[in-house]
Every structure is written in C-alpha cells, then in structure tokens.
C-alpha cells in the first residue's frame, strides 16, 4: 500500500479506506476469539440492536496480537507517527436485525482515569465508573481512529456516512450542517479492511436493511500527553 497517498487523503478529507489489511484467515481468528468470550461483564453492553465491549483491548488481552499485525503497525507508524499510542478501544456488533441508527456527530470526548477540574477540559460524563471529558481542541485535532471491519460493510448494513473535510472546521454542530455546500459520502469497507478517521469528521450511520451483520473494532490513537493529574484510561503502547 502506498502509505503517503493514504495519509494525504486522510489529512485532506478527514477519513480514508484501506482494504486488505487483514487476510480472511486473520479475520476469522479474531471472530473466533470474540465468539468464545464470557459476555456477562459490566463493560459489555447487550441489547437487540447492539452488542458492545468498552475497554476492548483491556477486557480481551489475548486479541491484541491478532489485531496489531504488521499492516496495522505500519499504518500507525507511517500515517499517524512514531509517538502515537492506543488511548481507547471499543468493539461493536450491529446484529442482523438491528435498527440502530446514529445521527451525525463528532467524537468529542476522550476516556480518562478520573474527574479533575482542569481549565479547558469539560463537559464531563461518567458511565459505569468510566470517565469521559471533552478536551481542548488541539488534542482532538491530532487524534486518529482506526475502524477494523470484520464484515463487508456498505450502505445496506449500516456503513458510516461522513461529511468530507468537516474535520478541519473545529467544533461543528450537526444541526448547523449546510447541505447546500457540504456533501455526504458512504464508506463501504471490505471484510479485513479498515477505515481511518479523524474524530472531528462528522459521521453517522443508517439502519441495517439487508439483514447482514456489521462487526467493527474501533481503536483511537493519540500522540499527546494529558496534564499531569490526568491519565488516558486505556493508554497502551
């Protein structure tokens, strides 16, 4: 893969797609681990519309070696940069019958270890003893997200839709999107492919209409250190 070309596209548009990052065999190994986990833990969220595992790499440490193959390491090193580390991970499974619909939004919060009053950090939310906060813009602007696709994903089973270049406009409220100037793009990704996205890129997804699964591993990366009294809750080199 020509890494520099992908990097340019991501920096310009706020997202990019690279297929064939994982072989079918590698994807099937990951799925095998996922199908054999104890799903009764608190960090697992189960409903008819969605199954999700927060702090995914912490909860299922044996999956790390399967996910960080040579291709992913190359992407992180050459597209993001040498200093980037994992700061958050989630596994999503939109089941075949899911009506899960996600309105346009930016990913504006980071996961941290505790709540402390700091200038430019806020608002705060707490879920299941996990703390999330909106950090200064500079931190968000320098983050990257990798979404690993374990199924073929297109507009019929809830592929992400994005507003290209919206990542370069700071905090962008979805209700202010001017569709006379903005465009929407559907991000179809093959099984074993990845979508890379800047968290400030406006994105959402439609309901599944073709009865096919959509399983995605979502991993966020940053090269920033937080103020001394605060830690990334899932930091992992």
8-state DSSP, 42: T
CA-nearest of 145, 194, 203 to 174 is 203
**Domain extents for the chain?**
3-222
| Phi-psi label, residue 170: left if phi above 0, alpha if psi -120 to 50, beta otherwise | left
DSSP 3-state assignment of 166?
Answer: helix
Taking the domain 3-222, which CATH number applies?
2.60.120.620
Q: What's the CA gap between 146 and 22, in Å, rounded?
A: 13
Q: Whole-prediction pTM value?
A: 0.94
User: What's the confidence (pLDDT) of residue 71?
Assistant: 97
- What pLDDT score was predicted for residue 1? 67
DSSP code for 228: T
Peptide linkage before 150 cis (omega within 30 of 0): no
Q: With a cut of 70, list the residues of the chain below it in pLDDT.
A: 1, 43, 47-50, 96-99
């Amino acid at each position: 893969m020509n890494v520099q070309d992908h990097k340019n596209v991501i920096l310009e548009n706020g997202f990019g797609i690279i297929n064939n990052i994982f072989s079918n065999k590698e994807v099937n190994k990951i799925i095998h681990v996922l199908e054999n986990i104890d799903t009764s833990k608190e960090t697992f969220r189960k409903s008819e519309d969605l199954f999700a595992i927060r702090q995914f790499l912490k909860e299922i440490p044996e999956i790390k070696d399967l996910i960080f193959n040579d291709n992913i390491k190359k992407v992180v090193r050459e597209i993001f940069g040498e200093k980037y580390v994992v700061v958050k991970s989630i596994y999503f499974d939109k089941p075949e019958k899911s009506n899960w619909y996600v309105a346009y939004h930016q990913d504006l919060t980071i996961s941290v270890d505790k709540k402390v009053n700091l200038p430019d950090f806020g608002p705060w939310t707490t879920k299941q003893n996990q703390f999330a906060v909106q950090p200064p813009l500079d931190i968000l602007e320098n983050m990257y997200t990798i979404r690993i696709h374990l199924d073929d994903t297109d507009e019929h089973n809830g592929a992400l839709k994005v507003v290209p270049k919206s990542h370069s406009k700071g905090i962008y409220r979805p209700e202010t999107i001017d569709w006379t100037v903005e465009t929407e793009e559907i991000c179809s990704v093959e099984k074993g492919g990845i979508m890379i996205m800047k968290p400030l890129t406006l994105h959402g997804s439609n309901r599944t209409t073709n009865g096919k699964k959509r399983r995605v591993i979502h991993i966020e990366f940053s090269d920033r250190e937080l103020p001394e009294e605060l830690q990334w809750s899932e930091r992992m080199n």
